[in-house]
Each structure stands twice: as structure tokens, then as C-alpha cells.
Structure 1
Amino acid sequence: MSVASTLPLLLVEDDPDMAGNISDYLERRGWIVHHARSGALALHLVTEQRYAVVILDRGIPGLNGVEVCRHLRRGQSRDLPVLMLTAADSLAERLEGFDAGADDYVVKPFALPELQARITALVRRASGERESGRELLRCADLEMDPRTREVRRGDRVIKLTNMAFAVLEILLRRTPEVVGRDEIEQALWADDPPGSDALRAHVFALRAAVDGPAEEPLVHTHRGVGYQICARLSALERDPRA
């Protein structure tokens, strides 16, 4: 059973056949679906209505999905979960989408049950984050407040995508342990991880944001095992490749 939200979801898709198929499938399973055929209309709608999640086609004409996502992250909807639909499956294009603030992606063509599973995971995680209590997570000079979603390293404010934030929270809660790839993927996507490069892309974005050029590296990769956040890892143990 889907955990359909009482809030509607916003589908941004210019292909009427695909939009109709997605809407019909989700509405039969309890979701309320609002539809926008353009990025401009989508940005207008999110100022008028609260949404549980946005399903955003990367290739919409005019203001494309990546640009729409960037606009969302700069405005009051910066915490709104965004699931990007894309026909592009290259790592570079996925990184661009994640860097713009997308939380997850589904590559076309896709199965509708997979789409629903991704939506459910995003809504469930967002709901859990809103209900979490006041606490601070720390490692060396890095500090996270899960409730306010503020991240700082020393005096530097760090801006993270939603998924990079989620990965950082997992690692900080377990520091200095090495957390396995499978465990992180399970926490982020349950039983439906989107592909082998997705977690790598999020860790790449996280490392770029957290570890400045003049700062001690805190985000570490253990190839074939998982990831770790800790200070004072020896040079022989470090692997900068995500």
C-alpha cells in the first residue's frame, strides 16, 4: 500500500500521454495529482499550493527541469522533494540534476510501480525529517542541525542538496564508523536504488561542499565497502574517488 500524502503532488510533464498515464496510475492509488505542462506554470503553482513532492521532467521545453529545480531551491520551496524524470542516463547529466537540487531521478522508460516507490520513499523521508527533534550532529568542526537543516563547517555555512544532506546525516550519526553502500542505499531508497552511480554522485556533491581546498578532509571513501565521515584519517587510508 502506498503512503499517499494528504497533500497533492505536482507533475511537471509536457507529454500529454505520459502525463495522463502517470496521473491515472497514481490517482487510482490514492494520490492527488496536479499537472503543469511548463516550468513557468510549475513555479507559479508551488507559490499557491503546498505539495508533497514534485515529479519534474528534465526535458520540458522553455524553462527546463534543471532550471526549474534551481529556482525551487532558491525560493521558499527549497525543502520540497523533487523527483526528476530523465531520458539521459549519463553520470554527468545526473550530477547536474543532483547539483541543481533533485533528490532522486527515474530514467525513461520506467515502470509505474517503480515511480510510485520512489515517490513514497521521498515523502516518507521528508515526513520523518519534519518530525525529528532538536539535536546537533558533529564531527571535528562540522556541525549539522537536522531540525533546521543548517550545516556549518567552522564559520562557513554549507548548502547541500536534499540527498547530500541525507547522506551526511547518515554518516554523522554513525561517525567514526564506515557505513556500507548497501546500508546507505537502503536508507535512501528502500529496496529500489536507482543505479550504481546515484550514491556516488551524491557523495561527490557532499565531498565538494564539505571539504574545502584548505580544510582537512572529513568525507572518506572505502572502495568496495562504503563511506565514512571522520577527522585525522591517514593518507594511506584515504580514497578521494566516490
Structure 2
Amino acid sequence: MRIASVEDDPSQAAQIRQLLEEAGFTCTSFATGSDFLRALRDQVFDLLVIDWQLPDMSGYEVVNWVRQHAGRLPPILFLTSRIDESDIVAGLAVGADDYLAKPVRPAEFVARVRALLRRAYPAVPHDDQLLRQGRYVVDARRRSITLSGAPVELSPREFDLALFLFRNIGRLLSREVIEQAVWGRAMEAGSRTLDTHISRLRIKLEMRPDNGVRLMSVYSHGYRFEEASTLAAGQPDA
């Protein structure tokens, strides 16, 4: 599991990193909120540990940005030296999953991290981790997809969308259902975010009948991801 720590105090950042790495996690430290948000452009983390008081922006702003752009995952644990109830409520209301008062108590800190990870990523049956459809193999645990044995490079969000489609093959999925599942929220009216990601998946995964699948748009509703063999012969792609 990869964890990001956003903490500007060097000694506390080192302590957090040491505790997490000793517990078997990979931890990357960021000294400012802006450094962390830039890293999110091309890095994926399974859990975030965010200090509530940062030099360039508040932890509140960081958590709010993450929830607006990444949805309900990853889980967020915020650390604070301010224990007023109003501050704690504000942090949880904006999207943090748990909080811990400073100074960090090592055993409790690691226990909170493990509890958040268990809740966010519950164990699933092995059969649900490895999906086979047509010429595709989707490995949910390794977050990888192969087509005819060759790996396909996808962004983290593209993989989340592809995994959701493969897990719901044959179902008519509304735009709102897909957006809530993948982004954690419904997009604003007129947003092309979902359509852009769908278009990229069509190209990268070569979604066509000779590979065993077909992704169809359903006017004014959403999408249906189908086994190619279940569709009427000659029906055009959307």
C-alpha cells in the first residue's frame, strides 16, 4: 500500500514515514500542500495522512480538493494539534475519514491507518479480483489489464472506469451511476469528463467485437458494455 504524508515539520514527517515503513507500507512525504497536489497528477496513493496546518494552504483546502477531484477514495487521516470540536467537525465534514491529535502516538497511529485501509479496501473473493472477458484479463489486485496477453497502459482513473465496466458487463449503466462509482460524485450538467475517459478506453483497449466486447452509448442515458456475441449481428458501434 502506498501512503502520502503531507507534513511540513521535518522531524514529524520523518517519524510518520518511519512508522509507516516499519509497518510495511510505502510512504512518500510532501512538505507543502501544493507539492502534494502536483504529485497527484501522475501518482496514485492508497491513503493520505494530512497535517491540518500547512505553510501554503490549509489541510481543509487540500482535503476538499482531493474529494472534488478524486472522489471518495483514497481514505484521509488528518493530523491536528487543534482539538476544538469545531475544527474536527469541519475536517470530517469536508471529506476526511478520521483524525488524530498531535503528538502522534505510534501504536494508535498505525492502528488507525490499518483500520482505514480495511474499511476502504475490503477483501474480495479471488474470483472477483481476476476477470476474464473475450481477449481481456483484468487483475483488480494488481490494477492491470492485458489484451491478448499484452499489458495495456492506463491512467489510474481509466483503470477504475474499465474495472467498473468489466464488473458490470451486460448492464445498462446511467451516467450518474458510473460517475458516482468512479469519481465519487455526479458531474455537472454538460461535463465531458466521462465521455473523454470512455473515448480513451475505446482506443487504448481496442474495444471492438473481434476482441470479444462492445461498448455502446445509450442516448440520453449512459452506456452498456456488452459481450460482442450477445449483440445482434451487424449492429453498429456507438
Scaled by the length of structure 1, the TM-score of the pair is: 0.51
Could you tell me which residue of structure 2 aligns to residue 179 of structure 1? none
Q: Is the 8 A contact 2:4 2:27 kept in 1?
A: yes
Structure 2: gaps spanning 5 or more residues: 129-166, 169-176, 187-238
User: Could you tell me how far 1:78 is from its partner in structure 2?
Assistant: 4.0
* Equivalent in the alignment of 1:14: 8
- After TM superposition, the structure 1 = structure 2 runs for residues 179-190 of structure 1, keeping only pairs within 5 Å, are none
Deviation at 1:87, TM superposition (A): 0.5
Match of 1:148 among 166, 171, 181: 181
SS of the residue corresponding to residue 121 of structure 2 reads: helix
| Aligned-partner residue type, residue 90 of structure 1 | D
CA contact (8 A) 2:52 2:60 kept: yes
Deviation at 1:148, TM superposition (A): 3.0
* Runs (5+) with no aligned partner, structure 1: 135-143, 153-242
The question of whether the paired residues in 1 share the 8 Å contact of 2:23 and 2:110 is answered with no
State the 1:71 CA deviation: 0.5
User: Percentage identity across aligned positions?
Assistant: 29
Q: 2:96, 2:85 → 1: CA distance?
A: 14
Q: Structure 2: how far apart are the matches of 1:151 and 1:90?
A: 30
The amino acid across from 1:69 in the alignment is V
4+ runs deviating over 6 angstroms = 129-134, 149-152
For residues 44-102 of structure 1, the C-alpha deviation after alignment (integer angstroms, 9 at most, x for no partner) is 12221111100000011111111100000110254211000000111111111011111
Asked whether the equivalents of residues 66 and 97 of structure 1 are also in contact (C-alpha less than 8 Å), the reply is yes
Deviation at 1:129, TM superposition (A): 8.5
Q: 1:122 aligns with which of 113, 116, 119?
A: 116
Secondary structure at the aligned position of 2:119 is classed as helix
Equivalent position SS for 1:128: coil
Q: Report the CA distance between 1:114 and its aligned residue.
A: 0.7
Query: Match of 2:66?
Result: 72
The alpha-carbon distance between structure 1 residues 39 and 77, as it changes in their structure 2 partners (threshold 3 A), is farther
Q: Is the 8 A contact 1:46 1:77 kept in 2?
A: no
The residue number in structure 2 matching 1:233 is: none
Q: CA deviation at 1:116?
A: 0.6
For 2:25, which of 22, 31, 34 is the aligned residue? 31
User: Which structure has the larger Rg over C-alpha atoms?
Assistant: 2
